[in-house]
Structure 1
Amino acid sequence: MSSPAEVSYDLNERVLCYHGPLIYEAKVLKPMLNYDETNAPTGIPGPHYFVHYKGWKQTWDEWVPSNRLLKHNEQNIALQKSLQATALPHTGHGGSASSSARAHHGAGTKGSGTRTGARKDGGRGTKRGREEDDANKKPDMKMNVPDTLKVVLVDDWEAITKNNQLVSLPRSPNVQELLEEWLDYMLKLEPKPPHLREPKLVLPTIVSGLTCYFDRSLGANLLYRFERPQYASVRKQYITGSHVIVGQEKEMSQVYGAEHFLRMLVSLPQMIACSTLDTESVYLIRDYVNELLVWMGNEREHLFLAEYPSASLPYQNVSRS
């Protein structure tokens, strides 16, 4: 399977684009440019495209790395809808979270299309078409995000994209510390949830894998545009700066915390869908991550910031430039 970075996009092409943990319809306004570490607008070297998000003001137009883009096709539209359904609370929670959720939904695309092997009149289609569907079907990575965490996601989106606020960094606990706390909790928990297979053997691998996923996906898929200057500054402070001693660089999982980690967890189905994991492994990860989400919901007052500080005016000006 080709990685997203290997896919090219044409001028004026209709695409889907990650913005934070969700996916929105967009259009390529400027052709690809290659950047290195010193001049990349997102802090990520490699090919970038300048996009406009459908239904959004032009002030949101931005350069994005190619691995934030997806082809506008039936499979990716289904992924877009799945992420929106997973990440956002049901209507009726009240307050700003509900209104933000509607705005968040509205920024995406409804999408449409006819499933391979299905008839437009709603019939089941040919046997061959159904067999092809079954052969290509990915394992179901159903995430059970607690409603309390869905509200956290929406409030997080509103604070950053509407209120010009930022998560203060470095966070405590950071992602690595959060996962260590959860690992310790799960190993001490008695009795163990019966649906979890071999916790003592599997848990360290799950923790290691989630940490790796976070470090690799943060810059590409988990940041809102307003956060990118902060991310570039963090990378310079902990990784690329001339003052950083070789061998003492910090991973982003040692700097960022639960706010960004939760964005990754709700995006995990797409990451898993692009992997070569077998069905049994997917279900194993799903079961453990759902337990992690329950724990994060119970520990949310300890893990998440109660309030984000406002960004300075100079920062706001830089983020819009």
Structure 2
Amino acid sequence: MSGEASTSDAGSSKTAKTSTAKGTLTTLHSTATNQQWKINEKCLCYHGPLIYEAKILKIRVFTPEDTENGEIGPNFLVHYKGWKQTWDEWVTEPRILKLDEAGIAKQKSLSQSALAAQAGANAAAGKMKDASGKASTANASGASASAGGSTRSGIRKEGARGTKRAREDDDGHTARRSEMKLAVPEVLKVLLVDDWEAVTKNHQLVTLPRSPTVRQILSQFEDHVKTTTTSLPSPTLLTHTICSGLQIYFDRSCGMSLLYRFERHQYAEVRKKYITGPQVKIEESSDIEMSSIYGGEHLLRMLVSLPQMVANSQMDGESVSLVKEYVNELLRYLESNKDSIFQREYDTPSESYGNTVRS
């Protein structure tokens, strides 16, 4: 994902027409892009590492008092074509594009780059297997096809019997999903168990804001990939895109699925302090996301949950395989730098905090 997908400018738009609901608009004119947006308009939207067709369901200007799940300023509630309604989300204008020739060209270019990179990686892997005498590319493809009618990357061969649509229509038809199996290092599995025990059994909390934050970790990982020899496909081209996508996934899922019950009050306090509180200035909070407050502990929770998130998306098999390679590399990076990324001792909250949580 390009930098467009992860930045926002709360003051870059002005409203053209408002409806009766507070802060809700029927149309919005952006002074930054000179674009006009309307409810029910079809558009393109960044999600993860790729761009998908979507529809604008609502347009709303969020204030510090009622941000819900959106950032302060103009936001668009979008529904991704072919996705379940549970993936509807509020996004800022930098994440949406017009459904026109320029937008479609950008969507195709990003998709083709990802596919080309993965194809190169598959070809290289096949050559390595041939050289070692373990298996030939043809044998690998044949074995995969006989096992399930699919290629090594998880995409069914064209014309194969039993082929299903690789997406889920809005009418709720079930589609086959590409599996994303991660190789979580044993050290990180232990950290996950310790993290769970500290919060749920010992009633302790991760220190917030963390250092390094999720955003900083992903930035450091990006530098690591670009300056270190790895087997990852097209690191110069794809690393920033995938790291930006992971950051968006984290910001989207943090409050919804990455917290234990004992942490939810802390989450509410953090949002009030840094984002929604009456004392927070819009210019100070416009760039604040959960990825700039939470750290490695919650990032690791997200990464091990990522296969299920991907299963609920419409990401194609090639993209799943591509993201899997980068996430596995990220897991190895977390393992190698665990001492500087993960917190050793958790905080014990005040008695009043515990009383509030249990009340």
Residue pair 2:250, 2:291 contacting (<8 A) in 1 also: yes
Residue pair 2:273, 2:280 contacting (<8 A) in 1 also: yes
Q: What TM-score, normalized to structure 1?
A: 0.58
Query: What letter is aligned with 1:258?
Result: G
Report how far residue 247 of structure 1 moved.
3.0
Superposed, 1:35-114 pairs within 5 Å as none
Deviations 1:129-158 (A, max 9, x none): x93789743112001110100010010000
- Is 1:262 matched up with 2:262? no
What is the SS of the residue equivalent to 1:131? coil
- Is 1:317 matched up with 2:352? no
Superposed, 1:277-296 pairs within 5 Å as 277-296=315-334
1-structure distance, mates of 2:248, 2:69 = 17
- Is 1:131 matched up with 2:166? no
Q: Which runs of 5+ in 2 are unaligned?
A: 1-63, 71-84, 88-160, 167-174
Report how far residue 288 of structure 1 moved.
0.3
Higher gyration radius (CA): 2
Query: What letter is aligned with 1:131?
Result: G
Deviations 1:45-75 (A, max 9, x none): 9xxxxxxxxxxxxxxxxxxxx969xxxxxxx
Deviations 1:239-276 (A, max 9, x none): 10011111321111000000001000001011111111
- Is 1:227 matched up with 2:263? yes
Q: What TM-score, normalized to structure 2?
A: 0.52
Report how far residue 309 of structure 1 moved.
1.4
Residue pair 1:182, 1:295 contacting (<8 A) in 2 also: yes
- Is 1:214 matched up with 2:214? no
Deviations 1:105-152 (A, max 9, x none): xxxxxxxxxxxxxxxxxxxxxxxxx93789743112001110100010
Change (3 A) 1:67 1:320: farther
Match of 1:237 among 252, 266, 273: 273
Change (3 A) 1:220 1:67: farther
Query: What letter is aligned with 1:208?
Result: S
Q: Give percent identity, aligned residues only.
A: 50
Superposed, 1:15-34 pairs within 5 Å as none
2-structure distance, mates of 1:209, 1:251 = 14
Match of 2:201 among 140, 162, 174: 162
Query: What letter is aligned with 1:206?
Result: I
Match of 1:141 among 180, 194, 199: 180
2-structure distance, mates of 1:203, 1:39 = 35
What is the SS of the residue equivalent to 2:318? helix
2-structure distance, mates of 1:286, 1:277 = 12
Change (3 A) 1:137 1:67: closer
Query: What letter is aligned with 2:258?
Result: L
1-structure distance, mates of 2:179, 2:305 = 14
2-structure distance, mates of 1:67, 1:237 = 28
Residue pair 2:258, 2:298 contacting (<8 A) in 1 also: yes
Query: What letter is aligned with 1:145?
Result: V
Match of 2:342 among 304, 310, 317: 304
Query: What letter is aligned with 1:152?
Result: L
- Is 1:186 matched up with 2:222? no
Match of 1:251 among 286, 289, 301: 289
Q: Which runs of 5+ in 1 are unaligned?
A: 1-36, 46-65, 69-129
How many residues in Structure 1 have an aligned counterpart in Structure 2?
A: 200
1-structure distance, mates of 2:200, 2:275 = 27
Superposed, 1:197-212 pairs within 5 Å as 197-212=233-248
Residue pair 2:164, 2:176 contacting (<8 A) in 1 also: yes
